[in-house]
Amino acid sequence: QEVDIVVAPCRGFQSAEATLAEFINQVLPVVTFAIGEPQLSPSDRAELLEIKEKFSLPIFFLRIPEPGSEPSSPKKPSKEKSPLHRQLLDLGYLNPSGSCGAPGSSVLAEQPEKLRLLSTFARQVLQQHLLGLATRLSEVHGRCLNIFINQAFDMARDLQITPKRLEYTRRKENELYESLMGIANRKQEEMKEMIVETLGSMKEELLEDAASMEFRDIIIPESGDPVSSRDIKRCIQQIQELIISRLNQAVANKLISSVDYLRESFVGTLERCLRSLEDSAGFSQIIQRLTWVSPPAISSEWKRKVAQDAIESLSASKLAKSICSQFRTRLNSSHEAFASSLRQVRE
């Protein structure tokens, strides 16, 4: 295995903490700290505190003998701790229980012959790294297993519950369909009465609006002279459009406010019903009668007469029947589309 030995430069150039920060994310560090004095200097203490706060790594402390001193013979362990030992204990590097070689803890070698402990220390540090990585891998593995297990339970639960949910949804949609279909059948008479009431209350207002309306893109002689048959048809058409749009808005507002469940189906229905009456006998008779006779003068009385004929030609019962019929058609279409989608989900 490849091993790199990095010697930190002097403190004036770069601190040991900065040197360690350059390599710690790229290697598995085994840190040694050599001390040439009987105890730590203030700069040593500050540097060790900074390393402990930022990295919290075990360190192998080696006491270097003073130059020229005679190598001493091994001494028996003394109960009295050295000043260096007490300082490292205060900094939190050494174990207060005295088990200096415990895994994951720092080691102090105050005699040169104890340098051999560096091999054991390095092995313990690497084992701690390996143990930490194995623990993280085990945690990730456990979380993945929990996710798979929960997903398996959810899938099994869905397999049991989904058919019941689909059946419940189908039953509720069918109940709603039958309820709305019954309402549409019952409301036809109410719609007829409402349309009759609306026509009656707005008739005079519509006649006044028609009498005072200004035609678009049609030149009416100020002298009151008759206009061409083509212009007469266009005038009649614009009066009809006025009545249709006003009635459409009024009846639609009443229907939407009184029958909220027909809101979506009603949009545009009344307008199409009213416009379809342009081909009915009443409007055809008006157009045919005005086409083959001498063109009249365009006056307020003529406008009122055209508007009154258009209003009287409207059939409230036909309108109500047409509205309910179109609602039932849309309801059937929606019901069939929903049932088809439900069958596809089941498959």
Q: Residue range 117-138: average pLDDT?
A: 90
pLDDT tens by residue, 133-153:
899 999 999 999 999 999 898
Q: Which residues pair with 35 in a beta bridge?
A: 63
Q: Which of 83, 110, 106, 76 lies closest to 93, judged by CA?
A: 106
CA gap 38, 36 in Å, rounded:
7
Q: Residue 24 pLDDT more than 70? A: yes
Q: Residue 29 pLDDT more than 80? A: yes
Q: Residue range 113-141: average pLDDT?
A: 89
pLDDT tens by residue, 52-66:
888 888 889 888 877
How many helices and strands, by DSSP H and E, does the chain display?
10, 3
The mean pLDDT of the chain is: 76
- Amino acid letter for position 10: C
Q: Residue 200 pLDDT more than 90? A: no
Question: Would you kindly state where each structural domain of the chain is located, as residue ranges?
Answer: 174-346
